[in-house]
Chains A and B, each alone.
Chain A
Amino acid sequence: QQQVKQSPQSLIVQKGGISIINCAYENTAFDYFPWYQQFPGKGPALLIAIRPDVSEKKEGRFTISFNKSAKQFSLHIMDSQPGDSATYFCAATNRVSGGSYIPTFGRGTSLIVHP
C-alpha cells in the first residue's frame, strides 16, 4: 500500500515554464512534508519542506502548497531551468518508535527541462 502517492511520473517542461508535481497522503499522523531533489548517481538532497500548519512556503523559485483538509501538497518550480532536470520526491514524515522522524517517500517524478 503506497502511503504517499506522487504524480506525474515524468514531466517535460520548456525553459522558463512552471513545473508542478503533486502528492497525496492518507496517514494523518504525518506531520512534516519535505521535498527532495535527486541527480543521477547521487543521494536525495532536501530542497524545501513545510509544516502542516502552513498553507504555503516559498524559497526562491520553489514553492510548496499544502492543503491539510484534502491531504494533498504540491511543488511548483517557477522559471524552470535545464539545471533543474532531476528526479523529485515528495515525502511525509512521522515519528517512529525510536523517537526519530522518518520520511515515507513518493515514487518520484522525473523532470526534464528543455533549453
Chain B
Amino acid sequence: GAGVSQTPSNKVTEKGKYVELRCDPISGHTALYWYRQSLGQGPEFLIYFQGTGAADDSGLPNDRFFAVRPEGSVSTLKIQRTERGDSAVYLCASSIGTGPSNEQFFGPGTRLTVL
C-alpha cells in the first residue's frame, strides 16, 4: 500500500524566498506531524494536526513557519523569508491515532537548501 509521500523531494531556494512543502499522509490517518531534521541530528517536532486543526504548534521555530491541513488529509508546510539556517530535511509523518503506541509512519522527507 501507499505510504506517506512528500513533494518535492528536493527544493533549492534563495535566501528571502517563500517555499511550500507538501505531505500526503496514509489514507485514513487522522493525525499528521511535521518534523525538521538537520544534518547529523534526530528529527525535531514542529507541529501536529488532528483532522483539520493544528493541535500543537509548539515546535515551530518562529512566525515565518506555518502549516495547514484544510481538508484533513494533505498538509502544506509554508516557510516565509527563508534563511540559510532553515536548510534541513523536512519530514512528515502520519498515524491512525495519537496514543503512545500508535506508530507514526514517516515519509522520505523534503531536503530544503537555502542558498
**Chain A residues engaging chain B, CB cutoff 8 angstroms:** 4, 6, 31-32, 41-46, 49, 51, 89, 91, 93, 95-108
Q: A105-B43, A105-B44, A107-B41 are in contact. Are A99 and B100 (CB under 8 A)?
A: no
Q: A32-B100, A43-B93 are in contact. Are A107 and B56 (CB under 8 A)?
A: no
Residue of A6, A41, A102 contacting most chain B CB atoms (<10 Å): A102
**Is A43 in contact with B103, judged by CB distance below 8 angstroms?**
no
Cross-chain contact of A98 among B55, B91, B99 (Cβ < 8 A)? B55
> Cβ of B109: which chain A residues have Cβ within 8 Å of it?
43
- In B98-115, the 8 Å CB interface with A consists of 98-109
How many B residues face the partner with a CB closer than 8 A? 28
Closest chain B residue to A32, Cβ basis: B100
Could you pull out 25 A-B pairs where Cβ atoms are within 8 angstroms? A6-B42, A42-B106, A43-B93, A43-B107, A43-B109, A44-B43, A44-B91, A45-B105, A49-B101, A51-B100, A89-B43, A93-B100, A96-B48, A96-B56, A98-B50, A98-B56, A99-B55, A100-B48, A100-B55, A101-B100, A104-B45, A105-B42, A105-B44, A107-B40, A107-B42
